[in-house]
């Protein structure tokens, strides 16, 4: 089977990490994999196996990829064309239509569409929503990465249930566990240092780090701890200003992107997810794989499903700094059983996800 996966780039992000895991998993299953990138750059690019063919469209704007993608589809004739993320899905749908080729189009939705296309994106959100409503029904199937995301897609885009499938994102759990034991040079994790709270994810509006910082300012009033946020993004300047205004400069570190966040997850006292919305929240499964004690917002969609409604981590309302602070303080005093956390992570293993995708692809090709 020839499987093509389209992604804008391979910058460090949850959807991009899933693209890498899927590509590697399909290749290990002995399928021919083409990774088609609008622009072949990003921190995750070096992780791609040399056995995977990378097609670089060399376009800075994803909207410029429609015709090059259509030409690629006509030329290479992939059996399955898989895309992820709303804006990429729209481009992929148009490209398949313009290619006049009968490739099976599978759209992966990695976020909660109703929130993603909100006033935060008012400049383009209305257009993306309109295009998604027109184009998504043309896909052979739409894969949502959580049950909550699937319900959202069905309601907002009026997609029939027979076209919707839920497949949890693949996580390379064995690799995460291996990297979790790597040495860590950060001085905050030296013996005898203060407890460290950890957050991992791009510095974007969706992650709602302002609420985390305000919650942390309440935590440090009662406990001498530190906060480490791993990731890079467009919100950095605003977050740095907020850190200064909250007088947290000595207690908060934003070191940017790190290649191995798992070494931090396995050593942090509490892992915190403060997101306003997610599609699935792969990072929570990775934290479980590291045996971490977790506090998360109960955002749409994913955390409640991953943490089994609070059984494997505390869930708090979105945007509620006092509730987040209370849950963090409680988690610092009552650590979760690391063995049980790791066992829970196995429910989201890469093998299960790859098998589910391949079963879906075969059923489409046999129709």
DSSP-assigned states of every residue in 234-277: TTHHHHHHHHHHTT-TTTEEEEE--S-THHHHTT-SEEEE--S-
Q: What is the pLDDT along the chain (367 residues), one digit of tens a residue?
A: 999 999 999 987 778 888 998 999 999 999 999 999 999 988 889 989 999 999 999 999 999 999 999 999 999 999 999 998 888 999 999 999 999 888 999 999 876 655 545 444 455 666 777 888 889 888 999 998 888 888 888 888 888 878 899 999 888 899 999 999 999 989 999 999 999 999 999 999 999 999 999 999 999 999 999 999 999 999 999 999 999 999 999 999 999 999 899 999 999 999 999 999 887 888 999 999 999 999 999 998 889 999 999 999 999 999 999 999 999 999 999 999 999 999 999 999 889 999 999 999 999 998 7
| Distance, CA of 361 to CA of 79 (rounded, Å) | 9
| Distance, CA of 321 to CA of 299 (rounded, Å) | 14
Judgement on whether residues 212 and 341 belong to the same structural domain of the protein: yes
Judgement on whether residues 34 and 82 belong to the same structural domain of the protein: yes
Judgement on whether residues 121 and 135 belong to the same structural domain of the protein: yes
| Distance, CA of 142 to CA of 37 (rounded, Å) | 20
Judgement on whether residues 192 and 325 belong to the same structural domain of the protein: yes
Judgement on whether residues 113 and 177 belong to the same structural domain of the protein: no
Number of domains in the chain: 2
Judgement on whether residues 229 and 343 belong to the same structural domain of the protein: yes
Range of the structural domain that residue 33 is part of: 2-170+349-366
Closest by CA to 47, choosing from 206, 260, 193, 217, is 260
- Kind plus residue range of the DSSP H or E element containing 111: none
| Distance, CA of 322 to CA of 326 (rounded, Å) | 6
The pLDDT value given to residue 120: 45
Judgement on whether residues 360 and 303 belong to the same structural domain of the protein: no
Judgement on whether residues 20 and 160 belong to the same structural domain of the protein: yes
Judgement on whether residues 236 and 142 belong to the same structural domain of the protein: no
The pLDDT value given to residue 119: 45
Strand partners, 164: 142
Judgement on whether residues 49 and 116 belong to the same structural domain of the protein: yes
The enclosing domain of 34 has a CATH number of: 3.40.50.2000
Closest by CA to 40, choosing from 18, 65, 22, is 65
Judgement on whether residues 112 and 201 belong to the same structural domain of the protein: no
Judgement on whether residues 10 and 149 belong to the same structural domain of the protein: yes
């Amino acid at each position: 089977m020839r499987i093509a996966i389209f992604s804008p780039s391979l910058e460090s992000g949850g959807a991009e990490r899933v693209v890498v895991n899927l590509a590697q998993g399909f290749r290990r299953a002995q399928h021919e994999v083409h990774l088609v990138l609008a622009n072949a750059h990003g921190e995750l690019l070096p992780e791609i196996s040399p056995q995977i063919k990378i097609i670089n469209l060399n376009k800075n704007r994803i909207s410029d990829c429609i015709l090059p993608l259509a030409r690629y589809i006509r030329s290479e004739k992939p059996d399955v064309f898989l895309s992820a993320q709303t804006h990429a899905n729209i481009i992929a749908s148009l490209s398949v239509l313009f290619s006049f080729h009968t490739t099976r189009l599978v759209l992966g939705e990695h976020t909660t569409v109703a929130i993603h296309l909100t006033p935060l994106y008012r400049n383009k959100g209305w257009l993306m929503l309109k295009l998604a409503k027109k184009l998504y029904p043309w896909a052979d199937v739409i894969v949502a990465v959580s049950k909550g995301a699937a319900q959202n897609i069905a309601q907002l885009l009026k997609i029939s249930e027979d076209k919707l499938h839920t497949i949890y994102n693949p996580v390379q759990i064995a690799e995460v566990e291996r990297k979790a034991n790597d040495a860590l040079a950060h001085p905050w994790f030296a013996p005898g240092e203060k407890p460290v709270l950890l957050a991992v994810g791009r510095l974007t509006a969706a992650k709602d780090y302002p609420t985390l910082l305000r919650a942390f300012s309440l935590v440090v009033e009662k406990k001498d701890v530190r906060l480490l946020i791993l990731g890079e993004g467009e919100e950095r300047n605003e977050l740095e200003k907020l850190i200064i205004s909250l007088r947290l400069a000595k207690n908060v570190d934003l070191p940017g992107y790190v290649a191995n966040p798992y070494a931090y997850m396995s050593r942090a006292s509490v892992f915190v997810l403060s997101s306003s919305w997610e599609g699935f929240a792969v990072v929570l499964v990775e934290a479980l794989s590291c045996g971490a004690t977790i506090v998360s917002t109960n955002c749409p969609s994913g955390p409640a499903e991953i943490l089994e409604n609070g059984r494997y981590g505390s869930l708090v309302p979105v945007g509620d700094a006092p509730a987040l602070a209370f849950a963090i303080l409680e988690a610092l005093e009552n650590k979760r059983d690391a063995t049980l956390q790791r066992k829970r992570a196995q429910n989201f293993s890469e093998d299960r996800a790859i098998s589910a995708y391949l079963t879906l692809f075969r059923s489409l090709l046999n129709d």
